[in-house]
């Protein structure tokens, strides 16, 4: 399991997407999983299988990343 905290902090949207795609390829190739904490939700959803959204300390969504409600993006 790879744990990443804000790997895209201070990066542009295009650089963030590039880094996240690289992370996904690397983790998949290794047969592992990644837990990524990130505020750049749209970029992260491009590579995520599942999403967990926490607001004010409360879980408000957990499920498939491609089905996340638009209000959380």
Condensed to tens digits (0 to 9), the pLDDT of residues 25-42 reads 999 999 999 999 998 888
Which residue reads 């967990």 in tokens? 52
User: 34 Cβ partners below 8 Å, 6+ apart?
Assistant: 1, 2, 3, 4, 23, 24, 27
> How many CA atoms are closer than 13 Å to the CA of 62, on its beta-carbon side?
3
- Judged by DSSP in three states, 2 sits in strand
Task: pLDDT band for 59, please (50, 70, 90 cuts).
Answer: very high
Q: For 40, which DSSP code?
A: -
Task: Record the pTM.
Answer: 0.82
């Amino acid at each position: 399991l790879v744990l990443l905290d804000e790997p895209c902090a201070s990066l542009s949207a295009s650089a963030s997407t590039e880094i996240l795609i690289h992370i996904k390829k690397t983790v998949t190739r290794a047969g592992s999983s990644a837990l990524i904490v990130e505020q750049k939700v749209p970029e992260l959803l491009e590579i995520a299988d599942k999403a967990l959204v926490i607001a004010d300390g409360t879980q408000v969504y957990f499920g498939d990343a491609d089905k996340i409600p638009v209000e959380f993006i």
